[in-house]
Amino acid sequence: MFSYIVRRLGATVVVMAVVAFIVFSLLYLTPGDPAAVIAGDVATDDDIKRIRQSLGLDQPFIVRFGTWVWSLFHGDLGISIFTNLPVTKLIAQRVEPTISLTICTLIVAIITSVPLGAIAAARAESKTDRAIMGFSVLGFSLPVFVLAYLLILLFSLQLQILPVQGYRPIADGIWPWLKHLILPSLALGTVYAALITRITRASVLDVLAQDYIRTAQAKGLAEHNILIHHALKNAAIPIITIIGIGIGLLISGAVVTETVFAIPGIGRLTVDAILRRDYPVIQGVILIFSATYVIINLLIDLSYVFFDPRIRY
């Protein structure tokens, strides 16, 4: 197991190096010039040229790439071209909102979807099953921003019990923190819950058809006991896999939710940086994303051991 982990971590470095090179090359080829963005609408060619020189953007590709890699080796992700703040600081500012949103969304999604999926499987082809699957289809079909606005309309504007937008750090108190996350988590979690519900149902249905389940039923075990202790645990691997992939997607893909609720998360940082061609920020964020994906995948693989003793590394 230890050597497996070391091998996977070693592979992470290779993956990140490849990602770094591809991202840098793509940004180099992408149309756009941060110097023009900095100069503003009222600028001349000369202004832009001078700014480009001052930022080192007139250097050849290999020099810029080399400088960036050298800085990386020194633990420096660079400085934002626009804000002049270190990229690490910009990312650090966004980590808490992103992790908070991810965790709350996961909680919302898992506590609703796993029981619903299991119940749907246990009551396959019944009205309950159809109702749950109907919810699942609705969850998939409803765009996040539509659900977000509906939730805002009801809970913020009509009932006035939850805020429309913004994020408060947990240091400001649990309730201010939580109340700013309830609606975003519900909006984002619904799609995710729909996905996990379907996977859970399919997976549990598959397990319920196994011989050992029939044996358990023949032994007279209670239905809920069979479902929770025998079926669900053995159906866990695909569910865990989809949850793990979802964590990665949530971290990088919550842009719409972050925009609608004005949450300063990593997704919005990435989009803003792309729109204004803030190369160091884009490169830094993508590196962090790739590392996060690889590590989450590693953790998922390792978790299989606990759910299925037959798996060994």
Partner 1 sequence: MNIVRRSFLQIAAPVGLAISVGFFTPAAEAQAQKTLKFIAQADLRILDPIATTAYITRNHGYMVYDTLFAMDSKFEIKPQMVDKFTVSADKKTYTFTLRDGLKFHDGAPVRSADVIASLDRWAKRDGLGQKLADATESWSATNDKTFVLKLKKPFAFVLDALGKPSSNVPFIMPERIAKTDAFTNITDPTGSGPFKMLKDEWVPGSKVIYVKNKDYVPRKEAPSWASGGKVVKVDRVEWLYIPDSATAANAISNGEADWWEQMPPDLIPLLAKNKSVKVDNIDPLGSMGMIRFNFLHAPFNNEKMRRAVAMVLNQQDYVLGIAGNPKNGKPCASYFTCDTPLASTVGSTLLTGKRDFDAAKALIKESGYKGEKIVIISATDQPIVQSQSLLTTELLRKLGLNVELQAGDWGTLITRRTSKEPVDKGGWSIFHTWLVGPDLLNPAVNFAIRGNGDKAWFGWPTDPKLESLREAFFEAPNAAAAKKAAEAVQARAFEFLPYVPTAQFILPTAYRTNLSGIIVAPMAFLWNVEKK
Contacts with partner 1, residue ranges (CB under 8 A) = 31-33, 36-48, 50-51, 53-54, 80, 82-85, 90, 93, 149, 152, 156-157, 160, 163-168, 172-176, 259-262, 264, 268-269, 272, 275-277
- What are the angstrom distances between the C-alpha of 27 and each of 11, 23, 78, 152, 274? 24, 6, 15, 37, 9
Sign of CA dihedral 249, 251, 82, 51: negative
CA atoms within 13 A on the CB side of 125: 1
Q: Rank residues 49 and 123 by Cβ distance to partner 1 and give the closer one.
A: 49
Residue 152 DSSP label: I
Q: How far is the CB of 261 from partner 1 (least distance, A)?
A: 7
Q: How far is the CB of 55 from partner 1 (least distance, A)?
A: 9
Q: How far is the CB of 147 from partner 1 (least distance, A)?
A: 14
Residue in the structure block whose two tokens are 């898992």? 110
Q: How far is the CB of 148 from partner 1 (least distance, A)?
A: 9
Cα angle value 200/104/282 (rounded, 5°): 100
Q: Rank residues 123 and 276 by Cβ distance to partner 1 and give the closer one.
A: 276
Q: Rank residues 149 and 304 by Cβ distance to partner 1 and give the closer one.
A: 149
Q: Rank residues 51 and 116 by Cβ distance to partner 1 and give the closer one.
A: 51
Residue 60 DSSP label: -
Residue in the structure block whose two tokens are 């691997």? 237
Q: How far is the CB of 242 from partner 1 (least distance, A)?
A: 29
Q: Rank residues 135 and 155 by Cβ distance to partner 1 and give the closer one.
A: 155
